Amino acid sequence: MTTPDAQRPRAGSDILRTALRRNVGAMASGTVLMGLYQAGETAFPIALGLIVEHTMRDRSPEALGLSVAALAVIITTVSLSWRFGMRILQKANTTEAHRWRVRVADCGLQPVARDVDLKSGEVLTIATEDADQTADIIEVVPLLISSLVAVLIAALALGLADIRLGLLVIVGTVAILSVLSVMSQRIGSSTREQQARVARAGAKVADLIIGLRPLHGFGGNHAAFRSYREVSTEARRQSVTVARVSGVYAGTALALNAVLAAAVTLTAGWLAFRGRINIGELVMAVGLAQFIMEPLKLFSEMPKYVMVARASAERMALVLTAPPVTTPGTERPDRGGDLEVDCVRHGALRKVRFRVRAGEFVAVAAYQPRAAADLAAVLALHVPPDAYEGTVRVGGRDLADLAVAGVREHLLVNPYDGEIFAGTLRSNIDPSGTSRTVDAAVEASMLTDVVALHREGLDYAVRDRGANLSGGQRQRLSLARALAADTDVLVLRDPTTAVDAVTEQLIARGVAKLRRDRTTLVITSSPALLDAADRVLVLDEGVITAEDTHRNLLAGDEEYCLAVTR
């Protein structure tokens, strides 16, 4: 479903705000629990200092038992609050990442073209890694707040012992964060560049996998691999740069935190030596100086995570904010209608006009492959209605006035190079698991021999892109999927180019039988399919130049005879 403009995020900051707003409840609960965890961690050295002070003063078993019970309560609070707090935050994080993955995938799969210079491999990276890193903001904010709580409690406790200790913690924390915030900006810019280069490398891999066989065919695989090596090397160099900057950031944060902890410890020792604080307060100060390094470390790392999340959100915005080339309508076509192409001019097409009546089986013999491709692209909505002249009507309604979802339910255009997915024969034929014509589609597409060849039958495992199937088997599997969809209007483009003549003849008969009384248009040069059609339209030089049955055209049109006979 296309996202309305009012709901489409305008920038990465909008995406982050949406993620935060959508998880306010989980973040509030997580913040309370994580704040309780940090408060308990901070309370431990404070309690230890008080225990030392009271034990030395009272020296009674009751005071010792009460102290041990207090420590047990603190430890239990720390354990449970961490456990349930992180569970809530990680669940919200995972759920939010899933939402953005679906949103990006939905935009990437929209049939209406989008004006965005991103390849499918890059969109895949954005829908996975960037969605995950953006959703990390759900955990970052509560952890940031809880770390701030721990630092403030520690500063308050130390300030009660001696104001100089409290001010030292506050001033030191502000100084550390000021230094690290400047460094985090460098990480953010480096991370954005790294993500872009890694995504480009992923897109190059996807292109290589798709074109590996033809590359081997004309010996271009080595040049393609060299091209990928260059892109991958750029990504590696940028990743090393990001790792170096992140390492400097982490090392600087650790060093500054250690310096602050050492300063608090030395200052507390000096104050104890001067008699300004007692032994219990010294123990508390030393314990807090050691403890404060953890929340300070976490607190100082948050700017880096925020910048990474911001960079990932900006990359998601590239896909989510890309406006559609055209805005589809909202109407739906009538069921069982016809298909009409009225004076369409696009690419190699020159005012093509024809009509396929409801329930009719029509074939188009295109003498030029470019014209066949352009006609299929227009019918498949790969070309928006306002990008070509003329009108296409489905069920009596203009294509421009129809909702994309409605067109897809009514009209299916199956490409000659249909994608095969990892799974089984059955899941490729019927991805939704709702088709009632799977067996009939298998028989009509002559996929029966593939099913019978394996004891698993339709549950036979298919590898990614159909790597364990031949070209003819992949083509028949794609055809079976189109037939199993059982749409009112079906458009097939060259569905039998990879099969032998005998199989082609059987497929033509099977398709004609299965699609009887259903509107079917086949763009093909196959004599078998042309003969099975009710009538044939000759598409030459971008216009319909002849119309008759296949056999009549063979008998009276020499050019047609030369074009389609093999």
* Residue-wise pLDDT tens digits, 519-535: 999 999 999 999 999 99
Domain membership flag for residue 450: yes
Q: Let me know how long the chain is.
A: 566
- Which residue type occupies 478? S
In a shared domain, residues 366 and 494: yes
Domain that holds residue 312: 9-320
Q: Which of 546, 543, 544, 522 minimizes the C-alpha distance to 534?
A: 522
User: Where is average pLDDT lowest: 127-141, 241-255, 384-398, 493-507?
Assistant: 241-255
Instruction: Write phi, then psi, for 339 (nearest 5 degrees).
Output: -130, 125
Task: Report, as an integer, the average pLDDT of 380-394.
Answer: 88
Residue 106 and residue 41 share a domain = yes
| 315 and 351 housed in the same domain | no
Best-predicted range by mean pLDDT (103-107, 318-322, 440-444): 440-444
Which residues, in sequence order, are CB contacts of 496 under 8 Å at separation 6+? 475, 479, 503, 504, 507, 508, 524, 526, 528, 529
Do 260 and 158 fall within a single domain? yes
What CATH number did the domain enclosing 399 receive? 3.40.50.300
Residue 116 lies in a domain: yes
327 within domain boundaries: no
- In angstroms, rounded to a whole number, what is the distance separating the alpha carbons of residues 461 and 216? 26
**Poorest-pLDDT segment among 305-309, 354-358, 387-391:** 305-309
Tens of pLDDT, residue by residue over 236-266, are 776 777 677 777 777 887 788 788 888 888 8
Q: Quick one: 251 and 375 in the same domain? A: no
Q: Model confidence at 23, in pLDDT bands (50, 70, 90)?
A: very high
Position 559 in a domain: yes
Among residues 289, 320, 351, the one where a domain terminates is 320
Average pLDDT, the chain: 82
Q: For the residues 419-436, what does the mean pLDDT come to?
A: 91
Query: What CATH number does residue 59 fall under?
Result: 1.20.1560.10
Instruction: Kindly state whether residue 505 falls inside one of the protein's structural domains.
Output: yes
Same domain for 301 and 402, yes or no, is: no
Q: Are residues 305 and 357 in the same domain?
A: no
167 and 104, same structural domain?
A: yes
Contact of 314 with 11, CB cutoff 8 Å: yes
More confident call, 384 vs 441: 441
Per the structure, the count of domains in the chain is: 2
> Is position 333 within any domain?
no
The mean per-residue pLDDT over the stretch 272-288 comes to: 79
* Confidence (pLDDT) at 4: 43
**What pLDDT score does 187 carry?**
61
Q: Which of 89-98, 118-127, 267-276 has the highest mean pLDDT?
A: 89-98
- Are 525 and 419 members of one domain? yes
**Whole-number Å distance between alpha carbons of 394 and 398:** 7
Residues 243, 237: Cα–Cα separation, whole Å:
10
Residue 167 has pLDDT above 80, yes or no: yes
* Rounded distance between C-alpha atoms, residue 157 and residue 284, angstroms: 9
- Give the SS3 label for residue 434: coil
What secondary structure does DSSP assign to 246-295, as a single string?
A: HHHHHHHHHHHHHHHHHHHHHHHHHHHHTTSS-HHHHHHHHHHHHHTHHH
Kindly state whether residues 188 and 236 are assigned to the same domain.
Answer: yes
Residue 320 pLDDT: 82
- Residue 426 contacts by C-beta under 8 Å, 6 or more apart in sequence? 438, 458, 459
* Chosen domain end from 290, 320, 350: 320
134-138, 269-273, 430-434 — which is least confidently predicted? 269-273
pLDDT tens digit string along 178-229? 777 777 666 656 555 555 565 555 555 555 555 554 544 455 556 666 666 7
Q: What is the number of alpha carbons within 13 Å of residue 201 lying toward its C-beta?
A: 18
For the chain, percent of residues with pLDDT exceeding 90: 35
**CB-based contacts of 165: which residues, under 8 Å, 6+ apart?**
158, 159, 264, 267, 268, 271, 285
Closest CA to 99 of 7, 31, 28, 29: 7
Token pair 């390492």 in the structure block, residue: 247
**Confidence bin at 112 (pLDDT 50/70/90):** very low
- Please indicate, yes or no, if residue 331 is contained in any of the structural domains: no
- To 10 degrees, the CA torsion angle through 391, 397, 399, 404? 180
Are 245 and 380 within one domain? Answer: no
Q: Which residue has the higher pLDDT, 42 or 541?
A: 541
43-76, pLDDT tens digit by residue?
777 777 777 666 666 666 666 677 778 778 888 8
Question: Does residue 472 sit in helix, strand or coil?
Answer: helix
Q: How far apart are alpha carbons 511 and 440 in whole angstroms? A: 10
Report the first-to-last Cα separation within the chain, whole angstroms. Answer: 45
Name residue, tokens 């078993």. Answer: 61
Q: Kindly state whether residues 263 and 382 are assigned to the same domain.
A: no
Q: Is the per-residue pLDDT at 402 higher than 70?
A: yes
The verdict on residue 4 lying in a domain is: no
